[in-house]
Chains A and B, each alone.
Chain A
Amino acid sequence: MRKPLRSLLSSPVFWRGAVSIVAFVILWELGARSKQWMAPELFVPLKEMLGAMGFKKDYLPWIGVVPAPSTVLIAWIAVLGQGGYWQSWYMSLFRVMSGFVAAMLIGIPFGLLLAVSRTAQGIGFPVFEVLRPIPPLAWVPASIIFWPTQELAISFVTFLGAFYTIVINVLGGARSIDLHYFQAAQSMGSSQWDIFRRVILPGTLPSIVVGSAVGMGITWEVVVAAEMISGGGSQQSGAGGGLGFFIWSSYVGGSYEQIVVGMISIGIAGFASSELLRWLGRYVTPWLRVR
């Protein structure tokens, strides 16, 4: 345990990365506090220039309104003790998981069916391809109309987000299997089920892993927006919740630090779940491990 740490600490790559991140945070802090340090007389010409370019005079454009990292950190620490924050985590996670698991349960068999049966592909694939370009978020209103509860509506939209990616990946993976494997299996007397079980399934597994990791990322994207649109848009009480709603209500309430807290939280959640999936993927496809 000590050795990797020491090699990490002695590697210049690590330090360069650390330097750049620290520099980024410092620049962010400086930019965010531009209203304070631009107050003295010295910066009048700069202010005039900004004004001439059509920006607000008092602070640097764009970055000047973003809350500083130090205030974000303080807001975050304050929020850590609140139950509502963790409730948001839980609700978003729950929606992502339900949508994602549904997408896996329906998407993988559907993709395999399309890959195995030419008839199924002929019937199903064109319809699928026509629906696919419609962004999942465009479904939000239709989904709210259709599903009895807001909860189900959001889960359905997250399901759509992951579903297309998983199906496309499963189909692509199954198609890329070398034809010789089928010929070899058939000439050695495999049944249809054996071919499915021993050739198609392991052959598509790597694509399933990739598809689900990508799908998981999309799911997080979608859940945030769905929560904002449904929770932020409608006045129904009790609906909403979740990190997307956390961000939206912070925005409405004017506490900009909390917006950034919410953004970072979602980043962490999305990153952690994708990494978890990749790790699981490496576990189920040990033959792909690079030695």
Chain B
Amino acid sequence: MLNAQTAAPGDVIPVLRESIPFVDASGALLQRVAALGRPRRYAAGERIYNAGDEADDIYVVVSGRVEHVFGPGISAQESLKRMGRGGVFGWAGLVLGQTRRFASATALEPSEILCIGTEDLVRALEVEPLEGGAVMDRFATMIQREFTMPALLAKVRRLSGTPLTEEMSTLSLTLYRMSLWLKSPRPYLMLIGFALFLGLWYLFVEVWKLPRFREMPGITTVVKEWLSPAPTYGLSVFTEEYYQHIAVSIWRVAQAFLLATLLGVPFGLFLGWSRRFKEYVFPVFELLRPIPVLAWVPLAIVMFIATESAVVFLAFLASFFATALNTMLGVESIDESYVRAANCLGASRWQVFRHVIVPGALPFVFTGLQISIGVSWFSLVAAEMVSGQYGLGYVINTSFMMVRYPTIVIGMVTLGVVGYATSAMVRIAGDYMMEWRVRELALAER
């Protein structure tokens, strides 16, 4: 740092206007920010700050060039960035929960740089909370897009006194993401994909009537039937029966899934936790596991007098294996040193189980639960097709027997939608319970 001299705020305002966060800022705000600035000069090759330093100032390049290099362990896509006039760096202090520098910055040529105290800036922005919030949002955008930080880390602090509620800010965030998404080619490619799929279905079956396709239900028939208040084959969104079938299937899966979770998670935890238990029990488990769940169908019908419990049993069996196995793998994936550390600190066996084993296995447990809900639908359908009354699998099979072909497709699509919705629910619950894990993955460059 050569010398600190006072520059007229008037010289600084044009530079701020060129910088991303302040592009849209009003004159009054720029005046206020400019007044906070302390110009400094750096010689070529002079280090401005290092990664890990206290993040007390934000810097704006007035002239010259600066190189910005992320420290190790920061998962930015590009770790090196060079910037000239209008470049803003040293923003780590604005990032949520961050007080240290992410990166190091070096002047490449003799440079004139404006320093603004992070806390001073935040206070200045809080005077006009709405406009200040917009500036903070632009900071977040810049951190994500210019500095290629993952979206998860590019979260800036909330200004105190902002009238924006949590919902408002997430709403604007989703709107922003939507606009980004709409600007990318993805939605249009997706439309092309669906148009191709549905169009070919329509053309093959109903227009060209290609051999083999001719017998299939066409898309217009299916949609008409599905949305018709008086369906030809008796099943549409307006009939009560349709919802009965859906409810029955969901209820069966829910029973099977809950039972499998209640039994499978503790069972898997014990398998992973106690070696003796595993040595005695796991061989039997492994002996039964290769038998496909669907091969159990007739035996289940014989074992359970009521078909209802046979169907639930089959869905349960599939879920149980997936849950127990993944939970066990989860316990085994825990770093041995955690257990040792807990033991050294005098944890009892129960405390180790409660505070190390259970949370450590949680990520795998949730992977297991996602698989489990998928396979329980998978085997439920088979069980319902073979035996049972009501349920979506039953709809598909009876519609086939009674030559109500459009209803088969209605059943399939409904099954897909309902199955997807339930696994999405499990996934969301998992992400919600393991926010620490999601953040950790983002930090570890995964």
Contact residues of A with B, CB < 8 Å?
Answer: 12-13, 16-21, 24, 56, 62-63, 65-66, 119, 122-127, 130-142, 144-148, 217, 220-222, 224-225, 228-229, 232-233, 243-244, 247-248, 250-251, 256, 259-260, 262-264, 266-268, 270-271, 274
Contacts and interface: CB of A to CB of B under 8 A. Distances in A.
Contacts of A24: 284, 287
Contacts of A144: 400
* B interface secondary structure, majority: helix
A264 B279 CA distance: 23
The 8 closest A-B pairs by CB, nearest first: A122-B189, A141-B400, A251-B298, A17-B283, A267-B291, A271-B290, A225-B294, A134-B416
19 contacts: A66-B303, A123-B192, A126-B190, A126-B193, A131-B416, A137-B294, A138-B393, A138-B415, A141-B396, A141-B408, A142-B216, A145-B400, A145-B408, A147-B212, A225-B294, A243-B295, A244-B295, A259-B298, A262-B295
A24 B285 CA distance: 10
Contact of B419 (A18, A63, A134): A134
B397 A233 contact: yes
Contacts of A138: 381, 392-393, 396, 411-412, 415
A122 B297 contact: no
Contacts of A17: 279-280, 282-283
A267 B423 CA distance: 28
Interface in B241-279: 276, 279
Nearest to A145: B215
For chain B, the bracket of interface size reads 35 or more
A9 to B, nearest CB: 16
Nearest to B377: A135
Contact of A123 (B190, B279, B386): B190
Interface string B410-446: 0111011101100100000000000000000000000
B194 A260 contact: no
Contacts of B378: 135-137, 221
A133 B423 contact: yes
Contacts of A221: 292-294, 378-379
Contact of A259 (B302, B392, B397): B302
A139 B399 CA distance: 13
A122 B186 CA distance: 6
B296 A263 contact: yes
A130 B416 contact: yes
B424 to A, nearest CB: 10
Given A122-B193, A126-B190, A248 B298 contact: yes
A224 B386 CA distance: 12
A20 B197 CA distance: 53
A248 B386 CA distance: 10
B416 to A, nearest CB: 4
A268 B295 CA distance: 12
A146 B216 contact: yes
Contacts, number: 180
A127 B193 contact: yes
Contacts of B197: 127
B405 interface: yes
Given A134-B416, A137-B385, A270-B290, A247 B216 contact: no
A288 B158 CA distance: 47
Contact of A142 (B279, B280, B412, B420): B412
Contacts of B28: none
B299 interface: yes
Given A19-B280, A138-B393, A123 B399 contact: no
Contacts of B291: 263-264, 266-267, 270
Given A122-B192, A142-B216, A260-B299, 8 more contacts: A21-B287, A65-B303, A126-B194, A127-B193, A137-B294, A229-B382, A229-B385, A263-B291
B409 interface: yes
B216 A224 contact: no
Contacts of B304: 62
A90 to B, nearest CB: 18
Given A21-B287, A138-B381, A146-B213, A62 B303 contact: yes
Interface in B28-80: none
B284 A20 contact: yes
A28 to B, nearest CB: 10
A257 B11 CA distance: 93
